[in-house]
Structure formats: C-alpha cells, structure tokens
Amino acid sequence: MKRRKRSKRVQLMLIGGLSAGALTGCGPNGPPAVTTDAVYTNNYHLAGVGYYHAPFCGWYELPYNHYNPQKKEYYYGGQWGSVPYESITNISSPSVQAAAHAEAARTDIVRGGFGGSSGGYGFYG
C-alpha cells in the first residue's frame, strides 16, 4: 500500500486553523466583562478567579458545596460547614466589590503591558 505525502499547503492550513481556534476570544469580541449587570449561575467558573456562588454573589476558590472528605465538611461562600448549604438561589449578579475583584483577577483575557496582577479568592458580597 502506497502512502501519500501531504502537501505543505494542507499542513499550513491545518496549523493556521488551529492557531485561529486557539486565539478565538482574544480580540475585541473576547469574553464579556464582569459587571454587576451580568448574571451567573452557581459554580460558573472564571479562569484565574474561581467558582461563582450565586447565593453569596461572589467568586470563591472551590466549587459551591464542595465536599472535603478529610474535614468531612462542605465549602460555600468562603466558609466550611458540616452540611451542604441549601438555597433556592441558583443565579444572581455579583456585588460591586466581587465584580471589580473578579475582573482584575481573571486570566481568560489578554492584557497589554508588562505588569502583572495578583490573584486571590474569597470575593465576598
């Protein structure tokens, strides 16, 4: 059975397509800004920020009601509890403080310049 060689053009097109796919969202039509007008569901993940806890209107380092078997506790709203937190709130808008901190800490957008930003968790309402 004879093997066919791929042409350079096909290889370049494939590489170009992968590059374009990897850069999607990095331009002016990139991810939307985090504002108090936006709404997020429980456990919405934002790169560099964490998980959104809708009942607490902020982002935290662990998912909502994350269970730690060593502690035998659940994590919600920046604290640990012996039982999962129950709430009918599944969607909400972040507080002013939480939105500002989240927008500054996110890593899913490209920022210009030579500076950096410090990350953190526990952006309380």
Mean pLDDT by 10 residues, the chain (125 residues): 52 39 46 90 93 96 98 97 97 95 84 52 50
Q: What percent of the chain has pLDDT over 70?
A: 63
User: What are the boundaries of each domain within the chain?
Assistant: 31-105
Q: What is the pLDDT of residue 95?
A: 95
Residue 54: how many CB atoms within 10 A of its CB? 21
For residue 82, the SS3 value is: coil
What is the distance between the alpha carbons of residues 46 and 42, in angstroms, rounded to a whole number?
A: 12
pTM here? 0.64
Contacts of 91 (CB under 8 A, 6+ apart): 39, 40, 41, 42, 54
